[in-house]
Amino acid sequence: MIALMLAAWVQGEAFCGFYVAKADTKIYNQASQVILVRDDNQTVITMSNDFKGDVKDFAMVVPVPVVLKEKDIKVVERQVFDKLDAYSAPRLVEYYDNNPCNQYRYEMLAKAAPSAAMGSGSAVMDEERSKKDYGVTIEAKYTVGEYDIIILGAAQSNGLQRWLTDNGYKIPPNAEEVLNPYIRNNLKFFVVKVNLDKLDGGDYQTLRPIQIKFNSPRFGLPIRLGMANANGDQDLIIYAFTRRGRVECTNYRTVKMNSGVKVPEFIQEDFSPFYADAYKKAWRREGQEAIFLEYAWDVSSTNYVKCDPCVSNPPDYKDLEDAGVWWVNGGNRQYPGSADFNGNVFFTRLHVRYNRAHYAQDLAFQVTPNNEQYQVRYVITHPATGSFTCSEGRRYVREVAARREEELQNMNRLTGWSIYRHIDYLDDWNRRNGNSNNRIKRGSVGDTGNNGGIFILGFLVLQGIALFITLRKKG
Amino acid sequence: MLKAFFKDARHYQVLFLGTFLLYGTFILRWDTHWDHYIAIFAVALLTQLAGIRFLRLPAHSWKSAMITTLGLCLLLKANHWGICALAAFLAIASKFFIRINGKHVFNPGNFGIVATILLTGQAWISPGQWGSGAILLFLVGVLGSAVVHKVSRLDTSFVFLGTLMALQAARNLLYQGWPFDYWLQQFTNGSLLLFTFFMITDPVTTPNHKRGRIIWSILIALISFYLSNYHFINGAPIWVLFFIAPLTPLFDKIFKAARFEWIKTTVMKTSN
């Protein structure tokens, strides 16, 4: 399968591009990951949180639109997240120039994506305490995997808050005001605590993701409760599967993360910090309120090219089953290179960084028919080796020198990293070019930034002129 | 010369909508497909020209087609330029073929968007594409009202927006207890504001009588509120306008008033 994809890649471009590094979710301090599966009014949400600490303190409260049945709650292995992350993570690919004075001679390099699988647990229920005084109804009570799950209905937020605290759930003190709107919205609360007997002495690393399934026209993710902790910016990576096309946010902007940019060779060693800084800069540029599209691809069995180039294996039937994609059927291996399932599946990866100041509402989504593919990909190009004494060779040296300058500028524009700290990147090729001067043209350096302010100012001026003309006419 | 230029309110509209399109494309970095824009522009104008040629419409009606073109570019997304072309054709053609009492029934942009989504399933609207810049609210609001003021349909905009804001405030702030910025965010949505100031203000497809227009606007706001809060329909007002538009002749029957004309003293057959 990989061979086939590489073949397709080579066909599309003049040279081979190979994946050399990726920036997976491990680079963010606080990152939750969620898999969303949506078709019609059915939704499956799998939540993998970044909880680190004593499992006794683990508590999760998720507003849900309906009382979930036991069969609609599952515990899945964490590796499905690792696999989707590896598959869709922003990537760095490399190209090798041919020496214009030689025949074909290029090397290839590829690194395997690291993957991690995590353990399991098991379960029993602790004592239910009095709840008459709290105005809280226990709608259902289950033990699933290593978790004790209660589904609560509540009439008042202070009752709910007290009930949770009195029953040993660690809830942030200011959660009450956040809980109230959900109660008024007739939502139920999916409340999770670790069952220590079932966990069998494991620590937080053994906590597995929880998956819930329900039928409701609502399609979104509650992020407001998470902000009750008020500890700064939080990252959320969303992996979405639909039958039709991309998932996009309906109450915040969904913007493409920049991609396809040529960056210096040395980024290969620092790709994770590079992407983390590029993300931070893009996020700030968009006023901290945009959601970034990092990957969009048709992963249906009928689409042979599932990545370009592949960072790791695309999701197979088992992954889709684990993720809760209910409409695919397994067992199609008729054509080499095709996936082992039937059915249309479109995959979207979104990256949100939220905080209370800029995110007043929970995230709301819609499934669109947009099936345009997208990936975040940065490109490094290794220059050819050998001597460049022929006339084309001399031109090539000039081109490489200019390209390297452009790569440094791109790096600066994307991340804000200093060009001058990496100025020696130009040395070798400038020397070959017979030019020892490393001064990059002033004015070409720096970030163009967001021109929104200038635009609006210009707009206001034009508006003023229009009003002036109108008023003069009336006068 | 400039005075003459600004005499026709449609010139303002084209300028403003054009500016929004530039803002979305270059500042908000929309996923711009120029071939889609070109298709909409070309098909809308050609369809309008065919109307001018064969249905003897006044020559200046191409300006209305420009407004429809920009509205479609701003609101409609599709997978293929052909779908955009279809939307443009349906929008303009609806003015020629769906008429009651010599007045066309649907707002052309609105008809193009909804009909294309329903017919092809390959088009969509992106309510989240605007961001929440409060400055945008201010600009769109003020500029939009300047436009509608010129065609005296300001009442429609304010009644619609006011009703919706009051209903949402009652639900979000008073009943549910969300903070103020939760409520505000809904009204910094550019799609909603474009709808408010550029779509339901279309003087030809709104009821002629002021009282009729006010009731009509409240009705749109009420149904939009219900659909978005209880059925989670995205872009609800656009759908509501589509289904309520055929009732306009009924409103005109109940509340009698003179019909709107783009340029007084000449008999017009068109609108945006």
Exposed, middle or buried: residue A368 (CB in 10 Å: 0-12, 13-18, 19+)?
buried
Look at the block and give the residue holding tokens 């759908």.
B239
Is some CB atom of chain B closer than 8 A to the CB atom of A287? yes
Instruction: Output b/e per residue, A87-107; b: 16+ Cβ within 10 A.
Output: bbbbbbbbbbbebbbeeeeee
pLDDT of res. B243: 92
Pairing verdict, β A147-154 and A247-249: unpaired
Instruction: Assess contact for A289 and A253: CB atoms under 8 A.
Output: yes
| A243 and A39 Cβ atoms separated by less than 8 Å | yes
- Whether A184 sits inside 8 A of B177 (CB atoms) is yes
Q: What is the pLDDT of residues A438-453, one digit of tens each?
A: 555 544 444 445 556 6
User: Which residues of chain B have a pLDDT value below 70?
Assistant: 1-7, 132-153, 257-272
Nearest CA in chain B to A450: B27
Q: Which of B123, B133, B181 sits opposite A360 (nearest CB)?
A: B181
> Is A348 within 8 Å of chain B by CB?
no
Run of H or E including B164:
helix B154-168
Return the closest-CA partner of residue B151 out of B66, B259, B234.
B259
Rounded Cα distance between B37 and A238, Å, is 31
Contact yes or no for A180 and B177 at CB 8 A: yes
Yes or no: say if A193 and A147 are a contact pair by the CB < 8 Å rule: yes
Identify which of A184, A217, A469 has the shortest CB distance to residue B231. A217
Q: Is the ipTM of this complex over 0.90?
A: no
Closest CB to B176 among A184, A370, A460? A184
Q: Which two tokens stand for residue A271?
A: 């790709």
Closest Cα of chain B to A155: distance in Å? 12
Q: Rounded to an integer, what distance in angstroms lies between the CA atom of residue A176 and that of residue A183?
A: 10
Token pair belonging to A101? 């004075």
Pick among B138, B234, B238, B239 to test the A interface (most A CBs inside 10 A) = B234
Judge: B175–A463 Cβ closer than 8 Å, yes or no: no
Residues in A closer than 8 angstroms to B143, CB to CB, are 463
Q: Show the CA angle centred on residue A54, arms to residues A52 and A57, nearest 5°.
A: 100
Q: Are A369 and B122 inside 8 Å of each other by CB?
A: yes
Among B23, B79, B132, select the one facing A369 at the smallest CB separation.
Answer: B79
Instruction: Name the residue among A245, A252, A451 with its Cβ closest to that of B128.
Output: A252
pLDDT value of position A278: 94
Residues of A with CB below 8 A from B181's CB?
A: 360
**Would you give the DSSP letter of residue B196?**
I
The conformation of residue A209, written as its DSSP 8-state character, comes to P
pLDDT for the residue numbered A107: 34
pLDDT of residue A245: 93
Let me know: does B68 contact B20? Beta carbons within 8 Å: no
Q: Does A40 touch chain B (CB under 8 A)?
A: no
Alpha-carbon gap: A433 to the closest alpha carbon of chain B (Å): 37
Paired strand residues for A35? A46, A239
**Do B74 and B189 touch, CB atoms closer than 8 A?**
no
Q: Give residues with Cβ within 8 angstroms of A177, minimum separation 6.
A: A157, B177
Q: Inter-chain contact A254–B135, Cβ cutoff 8 Å?
A: no
Tokens of B238: 């656009």
Residue length, chain A?
475
Q: What is the DSSP letter of B98?
A: S
CA distance linking residue A460 with residue A101, whole number of Å: 57
Q: Which of B15, B26, B234 sits opposite A366 (nearest CB)?
A: B234
- R_g (Cα) of chain A, nearest Å: 26
Measured distance CA(A313)–CA(A112) in Å, rounded? 10
Residue of A nearest to B175 (CA): A184
> Would you state the pLDDT for residue B143?
64
Read off φ and ψ for residue A23, nearest 5 degrees. Answer: -110, 90
Optimal mutation site among A66, A223, A243, A456, interface B, most CBs of chain B within 10 A: A456
Considering CB atoms only, which of B15, B124, B132 is closest to A368? B124
Token digits for A425?
Answer: 């990147």
Q: Does A41 touch chain B (CB under 8 A)?
A: no
Chain B closest CA to A228's CA: distance in Å? 13
Non-local (6+) Cβ contacts of B30 within 8 A are B24, B129
Q: Which of residues 164-183 of A touch B (CB under 8 A)?
A: 177, 180-181
Q: What are phi and psi of B22, to 5 degrees?
A: -65, -40
Ranges of chain A whose pLDDT falls below 50: 1-17, 103-131, 336-337, 442-448, 475
> Which of A218, A250, A287 comes nearest B128 by C-beta?
A250
Q: What is the rounded distance in angstroms from the CA atom of residue A470 to the CA atom of residue B259? A: 25
| Cβ atoms of residues A185 and A65 within 8 Å | no
Between chains, do B130 and A249 touch, taking CB under 8 Å as contact?
no
Taking an 8 Å cut-off on Cβ atoms, the answer to whether A289 and B132 are in contact is: yes
- Entry field: residues in chain B: 272
Cβ B176–A185 below 8 Å, yes or no?
yes
Contact residues, chain A, for B23 at CB < 8 Å: 455, 459
Residue to mutate among A227, A252, A472, with most B CBs inside 10 A, is: A252
At residue A305, the pLDDT reads 76
Residue A455 confidence (pLDDT): 66
DSSP label of B262: S
**CA distance, residue A285 to nearest chain B CA (Å):** 10
Which pLDDT does position B139 carry in this prediction? 65
Residues of B in contact with A473 (CB under 8 A): 3, 6
Q: Which of A254, A450, A466 sits opposite B128 (nearest CB)?
A: A254
Which among A196, A192, A239 has a CA at the least distance from the CA of A212?
A: A192
